[in-house]
Structure formats: C-alpha cells, structure tokens
Amino acid sequence: MNKYCIIRLEKVKSWTELQARARHNNRTSKIRETDTYDVSKSAANEILRPENVKNPGAIKAAYDGYMSKLSRKPRPDAVRAVEVVVTFSKEVQDILSPEDQKKYFQDSIQHLKDKFGEDNFFGGWLHFDEETPHAHLFYIPIDANNVLNFKGFMHGKNAFSQFQTDFYEQVGQKYGLDRGEIKEEKKQHVDVKTYKKELLFKDVHKELKLFEIDATKAELEKREKELKAREEQLRLREKELFDAFTAVKKKKMMTSMGSFRS
C-alpha cells in the first residue's frame, strides 16, 4: 500500500499569478472544465490566512503590506511568493482518521513557518472537496534584511531534495508515512551557459539535417536528370538500330527482287 507524505513547492513570480492562484483556492472564481473539485463539498474547506480573504481587495492589501516592508525594490525576475502544496497518497485516508489528517496539516504548517518564518506566512487553504485532502500554503520569501530572497531559503543544487527529506523526517514519519519519490532528483541540472550551448547545438544539428535533406534532394534530382538523358540516348540508339535493320532488310529485299527478274 502506498502511504507517502507529499510536499511540493512552486515559485510565483508575479502578483497576477499569485492573485489567480488565490482565487482558485478561495473557490471564488467560476469553476472550469479543468477544475476537479466538488462544489457540494467546498463548505468543508478552511481558510487559514489572510482574514477576509474573499473580499476582492483583501489579498492585494495583504500583499502590498509585505511589499512595503522591503528595504529595496525587487528585481523583475524575483520570486514574489512560494506556493507549497502538502498532501498524502490517496490510501492514507484509510489509515489516518479525519482528526489525524488535520493534525498532519497543522504540523506541516508549523514546519514551514519554522523554515520560511512566521511573519512570511501569507495565505493558507485546506481543501477537502477534491479526491485527496490537501493544503495550499503561501509564503513571501523575505529574509532578515527585508529583501525578497528565495535563494536564502532554498539554496544549493540539492535544496529541493533536502526540503522533502526534512519534511518526511519532521512531519511525515510522525504519522507512519513514507518518503515519496523526489522528481528533482531525476532531472539533470545544467548551468545557463551549457544550456545555451545545447540549444545552439540543437539549432546547428537541425540546420545540418536540413542541409543534408537539401543535398540529398539535389543529388536525387541530378541522378534523375542523368537517367532521363541516358534513357534518351538509349531511345535514339534503339531508333538508329531499327533504321539500320530496316535499311538492311530493304536492301536484301531489293537484291532478291533483282535476282528474280533476271
């Protein structure tokens, strides 16, 4: 039986994206074909923060409050927030009671507050209207210098792997759950310079392929012309032989007729 604790982290790089995610989590946006939640069960969901979050301006006001704390203007490519999704494999619902499931989420929230900071906890939602209960937790990565600094919280090439290991050891293990597979471990990370070289190589390789195709096409066209010329030569030769044969036959016929007259 699969009984994995599951935690995922995604970067949010704009206010527009953050707002869209919050609307989905609030269940205030119109349900779409791609949404999988059951509206009839949405009343069981819980909003942890911020207060009055369903007020259209509440989330923006809360977000602006965080931005006003910054000691300097963020870079255009700065990570504005992180969304952490905490859940467990479907089978865990048969192992943990509803009370223990809520305790699992509470411990998860505390674990993340310890990592990102209590003051950086921007928003949280518990969803019980989908196939598996889960939490959406948002943190603004502001460091001790009041700067947006995602790398200050998640640094090093094995940061995501360690992030999931820490969660398993400090939360999941407590509830008898196993450590899930880490997708990041299966990816091969490359630096930007190498990545650009790979893209360049792919472009060059593509151009070479096109060149080879063009060259092959030109060669085929050349061979086709040569074959047509050869066929024409054979046709002319065949005509010459036919004419010669006809002439010889005619000459023999004339000779035979002369002998007959004699």
Per DSSP, the residues of 121-162 read: EEEEEEE-SSSS-EEEEEE--B-TTS-B-HHHHS-STTHHHH
Identify the three-state secondary structure at position 6. Answer: strand
CB atoms closer than 10 angstroms to residue 223: 10
Q: Check residues 55 and 128 and name the one with the higher pLDDT.
A: 128
Between the alpha carbon of residue 68 and those of residues 15, 61, 62, 64, 72, the distances in Å are 14, 10, 10, 6, 10
Q: Within 10 A of 112 (CB to CB), how many other CB atoms are there?
A: 25
161 in the same domain as 41:
yes
Distance, CA of 259 to CA of 96 (rounded, Å): 122
pLDDT higher than 90, residue 79:
yes
The tally of domains found in the chain comes to 2
% of the chain beyond a pLDDT of 70 = 77
According to the model, what pLDDT value does residue 244 have? Answer: 85
**Res. 20 pLDDT band, cuts 50 70 90:** confident
The DSSP code sequence of 56-107 is TTHHHHHHHHHHHT-SSPPPTT---EEEEEEEE-GGGGGTS-HHHHHHHHHH
State which of 138-152, 179-193, 225-239 shows the largest mean pLDDT.
Answer: 138-152
**96-101: which pairs have CB atoms within 8 A and are 24 or more residues apart?**
96/175, 100/175, 101/133
Q: What is the CATH number of the domain that holds 99?
A: 3.30.930.30
pLDDT confidence of residue 223: 83
**Which amino acid is it at 250?**
K
Domain that holds residue 76: 4-188
Q: In terms of domains, do 47 and 92 share one?
A: yes
The identity of residue 169, as a single letter, is: E
134 and 232 part of one domain: no
Please indicate, yes or no, whether residues 228 and 167 belong to a single structural domain of this protein.
no
- Region 42-70 average pLDDT: 77
pLDDT value at residue 186: 44
pLDDT for residue 212: 62
On whether both 245 and 219 belong to a single domain, the answer is: yes
Q: How large a percentage of the chain has pLDDT more than 90? A: 29
Among residues 79, 81, 133, which one has the least CA distance to residue 106? 133
Query: What pLDDT shows up at residue 140?
Result: 92
Has residue 130 got a pLDDT over 60? Answer: yes
Same domain, 176 and 214: no
143 and 165 belong to one structural domain: yes
User: What was the pLDDT predicted at 206?
Assistant: 54
pLDDT at residue 225 tops 80 = yes
Q: Which residues are paired to 81 by β-bridges?
A: 12
Residue 138 shares a structural domain with residue 250: no
What SS3 state is found at 117? Answer: coil
Q: Which of the two residues, 255 and 119, has the higher pLDDT score?
A: 119
